Amino acid sequence: MSRHSLLDRIYLYQYKTLKPRQFVLILSLVVGILSGLAGVVLKNTLYFTNFFLTNGFTFKAINFLYLLYPFFGLILTWFFVKYFVKDNINHGISKVLYGISKNQSQIKPHNTWSSLVACTLTLGFGGSVGPEAPGVLTGSAIGSNLAKLFRQDYKNTTLLLGCGAAGALASLFSAPIAGVVFVIEVLLMDMTMTNIIPLLISAVTGSLVSTLLMGKDVAFSFVLLSPFHFHETGFYILLGIFTGLVSVYFMRGSAWIERMLGKIPATARLPLAGAVLASLIFIYPSLFGEGYTILKSVLNGKAEAIGNPEFFGWMKASPYLFLLIIFGLIISKVIAMSVTQGSGGIGGTFAPALFVGGISGLFLSRGINLGLNSHLPESNFALVGMAGIMTGVMHAPLTAIFLIAEITGGYELLTPLIISSTVSYLTVYYFEPHSIYARQLATRKELITHHKDNAILTMMDPSLLIETNFIKVNPDATLGDLVKIISASVRNSFPVVDDTGTFYGIVSLDHIRSIMFDREMYDQKFVRDLMFTPQNYITPDDDMEKIVNLFQKNDRFNIPVLKDGKYLGFMSRATVFSEYRKLLKKFSEE
């Protein structure tokens, strides 16, 4: 039996025996299993690659292979992407957002595996990024392609895409609630209870698959050592402000570094990136890879492991100089992450955000303890700092709160998590209204948002709304010529265009109705005398929000579309708003 024959039978069976909603629930379970397996595969390939390369190494011996591995990883990743994938797979979560807003939630089939391989080459060899974004892209691609396979509409395809993302993230962290909340906060919009159920199924399934195959100890977890005390509230507010400001540096610094690296040819960019990473890793060995090992050391009260002892040994004797070492790690992690990504490495900002947040919490709490001779719990501040940076960088406070709550196995830190995350969000929003995933898409007007009207406008493709069935008329044509054209046309407007395609104006049937039957004027009046020049026109580069505003501000039913003064067609009010209503119906729940 052929594959297509089997799929057709499955499709016909579900069509006859299952309601569409029931079939979506079944698919969400399948997506949860597959995305959970993808998370398990990614974690295992990263672990065994790293173990094979670094087993027995120690930084005390200054093993220089540690410094060379990230460069080798970047070269292998570049070669794999350029010659095997032949597509840009960096910034995975941004790719998912673009797919939702501009590609009918369709994600290319190769994304179901290509990011896993590329991330293993980058991160397994020590690139300073995280596995979460490639994992989310992989899970989203699984959901999207499974929906396409079973002929689901846009709404269900988008939902299953989100199910894949939730299942993958839940698998990586064993945190199903955070997986669901992440999808709702960052990826999807207009969620209802009927949509949340499939997300819950996929997230729980992904988490169970990970736990079943790998156990509970593999996930990043921590048991709280100290409770929250009310008198610490003010310090957590200060932590929110601090992590918000660090988030601004994180976003702007990474964008600037990647932009600068993008201007350098690959032949020079890769060696430069390798040299920078080697230098940073020599100073801070914890920049090798995702950095969760040093985070666990910080949470367990072993912060002195930060920094190469051969390099910082003399500074660690002074608690105040050690603060500078900690702060330097915050700065260096953003640089190392940006250099890895900007040179072509495949990985995400999720883990670096957690890393920078944990070190930021350590820096602030230790600084306060030194300055005020107090005893703030550094591990608690590191955990809450992780939530603060996640909130600031991703603009996802609920995801940050629930992820840290699930990591710690309870909600004892819920109050400080809410305080710091809220303050961090308010601080960073003043400087950066969009998350690190959405900045470029928002600049290009390609970002789908939780505002339903803006979301639908983003989904509309202006190029598909251009009408070309208007008959053109030359400016030197006579009224008699125009009448003949009118008799053959079904439209009331006629673009005046010369032989080179240059647009001059419009002749409206309503404006010439009083003279069009006066035969004596057929040879006396010319089109250039009868046309008018419209006040507004549309270009192919205009976004739908601007186009809709043009129709709302003037009474024209048709607006010409021009490119460099050349006529392309018209866009009509009726067509635009008809397409809007069609997408609104498809976008919303029945």
- Average pLDDT score over residue span 216-228: 72
- What fold does the segment set 230-456 form as a domain? Clc chloride channel (1.10.3080)
Decide: 466 and 561 in contact? Cβ < 8 Å.
yes
Per-residue pLDDT tens for 308-320? Answer: 766 666 666 678 8
B/e letters for 103-123, b = 16+ CB within 10 Å, e = fewer, are ebbbbbebbbebbbbbbbbbb
Q: Where are the domains of the chain?
A: 3-214, 230-456, 459-587
pLDDT-derived band at 146, boundaries 50, 70, 90: very high
Neighbouring-strand partners of residue 473: 496
566 SS3 class = strand
pLDDT at 445: 56
Amino acid at 404: I
Residue listed under structure tokens 């003399």? 314
> What is the identity of the amino acid at 51?
F
pLDDT of residue 397: 92
Residue 301 one-letter amino acid: G
Which amino acid belongs to residue 186? V
Give the residue-averaged pLDDT of 173-189.
86
Residue 187's CB is within 10 A of a number of other CB atoms, namely: 21
Query: What is the band of 455 on the pLDDT scale with cuts at 50, 70, 90?
Result: low
Q: Please tell me the least confidently modeled range out of 288-292, 402-406, 541-545.
A: 541-545
What is residue 117's three-state secondary structure? helix
Task: Report pLDDT digits (tens) over 103-121.
Answer: 778 899 999 999 999 999 9
Distances (CA, A) of 389 to 244, 397, 496: 7, 9, 57
User: Using CA atoms, how far apart are residues 197 and 526, in angstroms rounded to an integer?
Assistant: 66
The least confident of 25-34, 64-73, 190-199 is: 190-199
Give the pLDDT score at 590: 44
pLDDT at 90: 83
Of 578, 449, 439, 543, which Cα lies nearest the Cα of 100? 449
Q: Which is it for strands 503-508 and 493-497: parallel, antiparallel or unpaired?
A: antiparallel
Spatial contact of 526 and 498, defined as CB atoms under 8 Å apart: no
Is residue 363 within 8 Å of 326, Cβ to Cβ?
Answer: yes
Please report the pLDDT score of residue 454 as a whole number: 61
- In CATH, the number for domain 459-587 is 3.10.580.10
Predicted confidence (pLDDT) at residue 37 exceeds the cutoff of 90 = yes
Q: Which residues sit opposite 560 in a β-bridge?
A: 570
Q: Could you tell me which residue, 317 or 537, shows the higher pLDDT?
A: 537
- What's the confidence (pLDDT) of residue 510? 73
Instruction: Give me the mean pLDDT over the 513-535 stretch.
Output: 77
Position 64 pLDDT exceeds 50:
yes
Please indicate whether the domains covering 3-214 and 230-456 agree at the CATH topology level.
yes
Mean pLDDT of the chain: 84
Q: Which two tokens stand for residue 104?
A: 């009918």
**Is residue 227 over pLDDT 80?**
yes
Number of neighbours of residue 365 by Cβ within 10 angstroms: 24
Rounded mean pLDDT, 349-369:
94
Range name among 176-190, 312-326, 464-478 with the lowest pLDDT average: 312-326
CATH 1.10.540.10, applies to 3-214: no
